Structure 1
Amino acid sequence: MSTSNIYILGIESSCDDTSAAVIHNGKVLSNIVANQEVHAKYGGVVPELASRAHQQNIVPVVQQAIAQAGITKEDLSGIAFTRGPGLMGSLLVGTSFAKSLALGLNIPLLDINHMQAHILAHFIEEENSKIPPFPFICLTISGGHTQLIKIIDHFNMEILGETIDDAVGEAFDKSAKILGLPYPGGPLIDKYAQQGNPKAFTFTQPKVGDLEFSFSGLKTQILYFVQKNVKADPDFIEKNLVDICASIQHTIIEILVKKLKNAVKETGIKHIAIAGGVSANSEIRKRLLLAEKHWGWTTYIPKFQYTTDNAAMIAITGYLKYLKQNYADFSISAKARLKVTES
């Protein structure tokens, strides 16, 4: 197939969403995501249930993505899949399916690092899309990761700093749990925070290195703060929910922005992108847009559909690998732990 007509199927199954997407020369033709409702009652993702749900969802999701793209499987140039990081059982479903399909169609297989894909979602070509120039700094924020990464090239990345304990997404979700909010709680904190006073309650920021993050102490602080106040007034959460959410969110976003400022100071790079599930947070988006005015940064904020786990980001990364003819060997295996610098 000519390089002017490349169709890449992306398959994403790293956690609890089964997703398939088709990209044609860098443009998204379809991006189907099947969510798993089964985890909500457990207050978190149950790995065994996740892998079973992937097995049920993967065939219909892939069929739908190909049909919506208006092509047949024979038109595909290559198949990209999430190799890791993620839940092993979930990754195995996507890996096995991608291998079988690529073998059956006799087309290249492209293994994708999930964390790189979150960053490279910025290279999806769309109307009015702003594509960052190299080098740029990306703040990758999700349920499992909090990292400041210098992007030198598509597949050349350097970690400037990361969390020494918990990820920012976990801090949001655990705080929500403490407040009795259902899982996933991060988006709910964001929702309530918009109606509250961010200065109502004060939480101290962790003292760690300039480019390091730490959220475990903050989580403990929030827990003790809530316990102490509920003891004094059993209706404390109910009466102050929006203010508590606003104060928690304000503290977390302050930490993120402060570290970004340190990274800009240290590197001199003023092109700043965000990626990962927490980049859907309204406050971090607002603060980045303000940073353009105040500090002369150029910021790159992904569309909402490319922030959470989705296959369009896997497909675009596969497309960029395909152009380099950087194909995977069929003996490749899924890897639950994978650094963003490993491709």
Structure 2
Amino acid sequence: MSVTILAIESSCDETAAAVCKDGMILSNIIASQSVHEKYGGVVPELASRAHMQNIVPVVDQAIKNAGITLTDLNAIAFTQAPGLIGSLLVGTQFAKSLSLSLGVPLIGVHHMQAHVLANLIPDEKPSFPFLCLTVSGGHTQIVLAKSALELEVIGETIDDAAGEAFDKTAKLLGLPYPGGPLIDQYAQLGDPLKFKFAEPQIPELNFSFSGLKTSVLYFLQKQTPEFILENRNDLCASIQYTIVQILLKKLVKAVNQTNVKQVCIAGGVSANSGLRTGLISLGQKKGWQVFIPDFSFCTDNAAMIAITGYHKYLSNQFVPLSVNPSARAEW
């Protein structure tokens, strides 16, 4: 029997909907929120309001682009955790209402699990087991994927996430929000070895980025605004290089420990050009099979919720209509 799933993602400031049929993505619609730029970060109340405005047209467009009707749906998948609770509530309540009205099952999806499984969307995909370096604004993890629904976090940040390190250091440089993509942009014009910043030495496969941020802060405090502006490209390149090296060194350690040589990346920071090129180069040197998702599947999107929902559907992993979202949740 054919399985068609509508997926909804609303964990932060992206309202997204996608349709998946038998593991193939038929549509993937995302509505971004520019309202947060002037505040230098996501404002939870404004995010939830924007979700309420966007969710109906986004879902409607996803259905139309997929060439189906609501009656063709076999289940509704949605991001259950983690995220901003107000944003999650909008997506959850919409999904629950649609599930009830259509009489189809409801599938709760963990946002970080979905990032990992975004690697199963392309035609060229890894086989199990594989390692996934999942890097976003709120999380930095190394995940051992034994199957689509059997994922083990074998390393994670003990303080800040890599994406937060990009955004916070960008703010220190005087760059507007979101600063991570701007660091990437300027880094491509700079010398990554011009400035040396701290690489925290954390045991095992865990990460830390608080020391790096402090290192950048102390260095910039000693400089003049003119110096920072004149050396902006080199500063961005050096910061990006340091963050990428921290990530890749741990990934090498993970491969050596697990002997798993199929390696993927996921999450918003996986769109970073330095990380993508660095992983490709490292993979060629080490003899790894490297898989990198398209940019559209790196940042928050509903296609990754849909593919995860599809695998959970096949395993009859449904949630009741009484389900509630969670701002934080373990896998």
Structure 2: which amino acid aligns with 1:43?
Answer: G
Deviation, 1:204, is: 2.2
Aligned-partner Cα distance in 1 for 2:281–2:117: 24
For 1:153, the equivalent position in structure 2 comes to: 147
Aligned-partner Cα distance in 2 for 1:335–1:282: 32
For 2:137, the equivalent position in structure 1 comes to: 143
Alignment equivalent of 2:246, drawn from 255, 263, 266: 255
Q: Which residues of 2 match residues 33-182 of structure 1 at below 5 A?
A: 33-124=30-121, 126=122, 129-182=123-176
Does 2:256 correspond to 1:287? no
SS in 2 for 1:37: coil
Structure 1: which amino acid aligns with 2:141?
Answer: Q
Unpaired runs of 5+ in structure 2? none
Alignment equivalent of 1:190, drawn from 184, 191, 194: 184
For 1:226, the equivalent position in structure 2 comes to: 220
Structure 1 segments of 4+ aligned residues over 3 angstroms from their partners: none
Deviation, 1:171, is: 0.1
SS in 2 for 1:49: helix
For 2:15, the equivalent position in structure 1 comes to: 18
Could you give the per-residue CA deviations for residues 147-189 of structure 1, whole angstroms, max 9, x where no partner exists?
A: 1111111111111111110000000000100011111110110
Does 2:193 correspond to 1:199? yes
Report the aligned-residue RMSD. 0.9
Could you give the per-residue CA deviations for residues 64-95 of structure 1, whole angstroms, max 9, x where no partner exists?
A: 11011111111111100000100000000000
Q: Which residues of 2 match residues 209-224 of structure 1 at below 5 A?
A: 209-224=203-218
Deviation, 1:292, is: 2.4
Structure 2: which amino acid aligns with 1:86?
Answer: G
Contact 2:149-2:311 within 8 A present in 1 as well: no
SS in 1 for 2:25: strand
Q: Which residues of 2 match residues 295-334 of structure 1 at below 5 A?
A: 295-334=286-325
Contact 2:130-2:260 within 8 A present in 1 as well: yes
Structure 2: which amino acid aligns with 1:293?
Answer: Q
Structure 2: which amino acid aligns with 1:42?
Answer: Y
Deviation, 1:238, is: 1.2
Contact 2:187-2:236 within 8 A present in 1 as well: yes
Aligned-partner Cα distance in 2 for 1:122–1:208: 28
Deviation, 1:294, is: 0.6
Structure 2: which amino acid aligns with 1:283?
Answer: G
For 2:226, the equivalent position in structure 1 comes to: 235
Structure 2: which amino acid aligns with 1:179?
Answer: L
Aligned-partner Cα distance in 2 for 1:159–1:308: 20
Contact 2:15-2:54 within 8 A present in 1 as well: yes
Structure 2: which amino acid aligns with 1:221?
Answer: S
Unpaired runs of 5+ in structure 1? none
Aligned-partner Cα distance in 2 for 1:91–1:19: 12
Could you give the per-residue CA deviations for residues 265-285 of structure 1, whole angstroms, max 9, x where no partner exists?
A: 111111111010000001111
Deviation, 1:144, is: 0.2
For 2:3, the equivalent position in structure 1 comes to: 6
SS in 1 for 2:223: helix
Aligned-partner Cα distance in 1 for 2:248–2:215: 20
Aligned-partner Cα distance in 2 for 1:220–1:291: 28
SS in 2 for 1:235: helix
Structure 2: which amino acid aligns with 1:201?
Answer: F
